[in-house]
Amino acid sequence: MPHHSLADDNALPNVDQELLSIAKYLTDFEIQSDAAYTTARYCLMDAIGCAMLALNYPKCTALLGPIIPGTVVPNAARVMGTAFELDPIQAAFNMGCMIRWLDFNDTWLAAEWGHPSDNLGSILAVADYQSRTQTKPWLMRDVLTAMIKAYEIQGILALENSFNRIGLDHVVLVKVASTAVAMQLLGGNFEQITHALSHAWIDGQALRTYRHAPNTGTRKSWAAGDATARGVRLAWLVQSGEMGYPSALTAKKWGFYDVTWHGHTLHLPQEFDSFVMENILFKISYPAEFHAQTAVECAVKLHPQVKDRLDNIEKIVLHTQESAIRIISKTGPLHNPADRDHCLQYMVAVGLMEGNLTAEHYENTFAQNPMIDALRAKMQVCENVKFSKDYLDPEKRSIANAVQVYFTDGTHTDKVQIQYPIGHHNRRDEGWPALVKKFEHNLSNKFNADEISTLKHLLLDMQTLQAMPVHKFMDLLVR
C-alpha cells in the first residue's frame, strides 16, 4: 500500500507571481505617458482640495493628530492643512482620512471600485518624511510617479477581481498599493517589495459592513486612511528586517486564495502601465458615491421644472445600473451623513429640491426637511440593462442614469439621461476647468486668495512642480 505522509512539506516555495509582477513594475518600469503625468497633477490638486474641505467637519478633525495628544516627532511628516508633525504612519492615516472623508475624491469603477487617491496618504507622508531626513530628498516628480504606479496597481487588480461580492471592502487594494509604493519610497529593493506585499495579502481584510444598510456609518470615511497607514506600517516593518512570506496568496489551506478567495485566483487582464491614471474618474460636481453622479446631474437639470411643483409630484422614475441598485439604493430611515451620501434616492431628492448637492446637504440640520423623505417615497428605481452593460464595457465605462418626474395632473417632465459624468475621461476638456474651480473653492476655508493662486499655478506648472523637493511642497500646505 502507498505510504501517505502526515507531515507538511516545508520546502520553501517560489514567490507568488502576482507579488513578482507588482515588484517588477515598481522597480523596472518607466512611465512614458505625458497624459498620465498631467492627470496625476490634477489628481494631486483634487485630493488636496478634498482634504481641505474635510477640515470643515468636526467628525473628521476629531480623528486627526497624534495618537497621544501633544506628541511631537522630530523631522516628522507634515499633515496638510494643519500644524501636525507626525510619524509617517499616523500622518498617512490623517491625510488618507481627510482626502476620503467627504466621498469627493477620484474614483475607479471596474469589477471592484475604489478611490486610488486614497494612496496619497502613504505617498505624501513617506516622501515628506524621507525628504526631511535623507541627504537627497524625494522630488514632486517622484510623488507623481508613485501616484501613477499606485493607481495602476489598485486599478488593474480591480478590473476583473470583485472583492465586494464576497463581502470584502475595496480598501484591501488601497493597502496593497500603498504597501508597495511606501516600500519603494522607503528605499526598499525588489525583494523587500515582495516581502511587504506578502504582508498586505496576509493581513485580515476589512468587511464592507460599514458601507451598506443597515450599518452604513462613518468608518467608510476613514477606512481608506486606515488602509494607507497600514501599508506604511507593513513597509516599515520590512525595512526594519521583517521577513516576507513567498506563497502568501497560493499556500494550500493557509494562503489568501484558499482562505479568503474561495479557491479562486486573482486575474490580471493586462500589463501594468499607466492606463488607470489616464482614465481615472473625478467627482467634480457633487460629493456623492460615483454611481449616483449622473443621477444627481439629471436631477439638477430637472430642478427648474419641478422646484415649484414638488407637492404635486406623483412619482419619480430612476433608471440606473445594476451596481447602483446593489450599492446605494435604499429605503427607510437614514441615520447619519454617511448613510445619506450612499443613498441614491436621497441624493436625487436633494438635486430636485435644491438644484445642487453639497456636503452640507448630508448634515442632520438639512436632512430634517420632510420634503426629502416625501420625494424618496415616490421614487421607483429600475435597472436599465443597457446601462449595466455599458458600465461593464471597457470601451465605454459609462455610469449612466436617467430621471423622469410625473405629476398628479397627468403631465411629466422629459426623461433626462446622462451617460458620462463631467469627471469622466470622455469629458476632460469640460472637466479640467471645473476641477480647478472646485480646487479653489475647497481651499478657501484655509487659504487666502493669494495663497490659493500660488498653489494653483504651481500645480499647473509641470516643470516647476516636478523639480520641487517634497518637503518644500508640503511646507506650503501647513497651516
Domain boundaries, the chain: 17-278, 290-421
**3 state SS for 58-113:** HHHHCCCCCCCCCCCCCCCEECCCCCCEECHHHHHHHHHHHHHCCCCCCEECCCCC
Report the SS3 class of residue 358. coil
Q: pLDDT at position 93, please?
A: 98
Tell me the CB-side half-sphere exposure of residue 229, using CA atoms within 13 A.
22
**3 state SS for 283-329:** CCCCCCCHHHHHHHHHHHHHHHHHCCCHHHEEEEEEEECHHHHHHHC
* Model pTM above 0.85: yes
Bridge pairing between strands 77-78 and 416-418? unpaired
State how far the Cα of 271 lies from the Cα of 418, in Å rounded to an integer: 32
Q: pLDDT at position 2, please?
A: 57
Q: What is the largest CA-CA distance in the chain?
A: 86
Q: pLDDT at position 177, please?
A: 98
Alpha helices by DSSP H, 209-260: 219-239, 256-259
Q: pLDDT at position 251, please?
A: 96
Per-residue pLDDT of the chain (479 residues; tens, 9 = 90+): 556 667 788 888 999 999 999 999 999 999 999 999 999 999 999 999 999 999 999 999 999 999 999 998 999 999 999 999 999 999 999 999 999 999 999 999 888 889 999 999 999 999 999 999 998 999 999 999 999 999 999 999 999 999 988 999 999 999 999 999 999 999 999 999 999 999 999 999 999 999 988 999 999 999 999 999 999 999 999 999 999 999 999 999 999 999 999 889 999 999 999 999 999 999 999 998 889 999 999 999 999 999 999 999 999 999 999 999 999 999 999 999 999 999 999 999 999 999 999 999 999 999 999 999 999 999 999 999 999 999 888 788 899 999 999 999 999 999 999 999 999 988 999 999 999 999 999 999 999 999 999 999 999 999 999 999 999 999 999 99
CB atoms within 10 A of CB 5: 6
Give the contacts of 348 (CB within 8 A, at least 6 positions apart): 292, 295, 296, 298, 299, 316, 318, 375, 379, 403
For residue range 273-322, list pLDDT tens digits in order: 999 999 999 999 999 888 999 999 999 999 999 999 999 999 999 999 99
Q: Residue 32 gets which letter from DSSP?
A: -
Taking 3-state DSSP, the helix, strand and coil percentages for the chain, each rounded to the nearest 5, stand at 55, 10, 40
Question: Which fold is adopted by the domain 290-421?
Answer: 60s Ribosomal Protein L30; Chain: A; (3.30.1330)
For residue range 157-194, list pLDDT tens digits in order: 999 999 988 999 999 999 999 999 999 999 999 999 99
State how far the Cα of 448 lies from the Cα of 83, in Å rounded to an integer: 17
Q: pLDDT at position 1, please?
A: 55
State how far the Cα of 367 lies from the Cα of 335, in Å rounded to an integer: 10
What angle, 0 to 180 degrees and rounded to 10, lies between the N-to-C axes of helices 140-159 and 171-185? 150
* Among 233, 230, 234, 179, CA closest to 206: 230
Q: pLDDT at position 217, please?
A: 93
For residue range 247-281, list pLDDT tens digits in order: 999 999 999 999 999 889 999 999 999 999 999 99
Element (H, E) at 182: helix 171-185
Q: pLDDT at position 8, please?
A: 82
Cell numbers 528605499 correspond to 187
CATH, domain 17-278, list 3.30.70.1350, 3.30.70.100, 3.30.70.270, 1.10.4100.10: 1.10.4100.10
Check if the beta carbon of residue 352 is closer than 8 Å to that of residue 375. Answer: yes
Alpha-carbon 190 to chain mean position: 27
Check if the beta carbon of residue 178 is closer than 8 Å to that of residue 7. Answer: no
Identity of residue 182:
A
CB atoms within 10 A of CB 9: 7
Identity of residue 74:
P
Cell numbers placing 20: 513578482
Check if the beta carbon of residue 327 is closer than 8 Å to that of residue 350. Answer: no
